[in-house]
Amino acid sequence: MEQKYNPLFESFAFRSGVEVKNRLVMAPMTHSSSNEDGTVSDVELDYYARRSEGVGMVITACIYVTPNGKGFPGEFAGDSDAMIPGLTRLANTIKEKGAKAILQIFHGGRRVPPALVPNGDVVSASAVAATESPDVVPRELTHEEIESIIRDFGETTRRAALAGFDGVEIHGANTYLLQQFYSPHSNRRNDQWGGDIDRRLAFPLAVVDEVKRAAAEHANGPFLVGYRFSPEEPETPGLTMEDTFRLVDELAAKDLDYLHVSLFDYHSKPARGADDSKSRLEWIVERVANRVPLMGVGSVHTADDAIDVQQQGAPLVALGRVLLTDPDWVQKVESGREDEIQPKLSLSSQNKLVIPDGLWRMIASKEGWLTFTE
């Protein structure tokens, strides 16, 4: 291995006591490959087994905490104890390969397809449609339903602990329910759960508190809690970098193990709320000021990209698409074989790369997300 890549392979100890062998993480990616009843499938296990050997930590695809939060076909469920046996198999599969297993917990809010949730009842902070699906107007959640969903996040954390996961990541990014409560675009309430910025923060922070409570009560050993967030929204009104700075301040005070910045490209510059003299990641690093570890992600294709993320101030680097095209990316960098990394997908490589049918169809339908070669 080239000496300049050594920082990627240093071990890391989180505040909770969880330790990872290196700074490289498999990013959470939807795979649409679970069984119809929400249980973990064999093809899902094979997919994770193929990608868990090199990285220090695997963050799974998101798991819905309550039935009306299901966001994707083939998404796995965390809403009942009947799911624990399958979750145990998944945690064991990842850990047997030497990586820590982290379960990403989630509610899709207004972004769920009506066909996937009971009675087509799409819910959110307020009855405001998403820009991406203007014809789906969600129903505003009641106070009692909000409190129930908060408890559901805690219950899914309990199941993750019982299943042997090493921690959970709260999915507060990508315009899903937690972000919907914080965003002035989707939250038009005027009660304790919305209005000014303090009240829009109430729901995501209550989820953090409940998840931490459940982890402390049910985990038998070190168990980490991370939080993923998106720094900006294009809508007006919508989240700006100024809003993100406030969110970061609040999360940094919660003694979380890490914050995970959801970016498609880690080089991207702010649009609103901060000038473009620095990348979004650099602005967030400056605001965090070492109060909590950061995880960077977004178009990290090469080992030089990963080092660049670290040099911008994020000690942890999440790898997404590159682990689809080359599950051995980490091992190749570690053994000095970076020139052998495969950056593209061959049309005939699905079985070799152990990519389930559901994920393969998603890849093929997202133009520009990955590059195919004949």
Active-site positions read 176
Contacts of residue 216, defined as CB under 8 A and 6 or more positions apart, other chains included, come to none
Radius of gyration of the chain (CA): 19
Distances (CA, A) of 254 to 251, 288, 367: 5, 13, 39
What's the CA gap between 366 and 345, in Å, rounded? 13
Cβ proximity of 33 and 74 under 8 Å? yes
Distance CA 256, CA 87 (A): 23
- Distance between alpha carbon 348 and the CA centroid of its chain, in Å? 29
Q: Are strands 345-346 and 57-64 parallel, antiparallel or unpaired?
A: unpaired
What residues pair up with 103 in beta bridges, in sequence order? 168
Angle between helices 143-162 and 202-218 (to 10 degrees): 30
User: How far, in Å, CA of 22 to CA of 42, rounded?
Assistant: 27
Torsion sign across C-alpha atoms 257, 178, 44, 373 = negative
Phi (first) and psi of residue 88, to 5 degrees: -65, -40
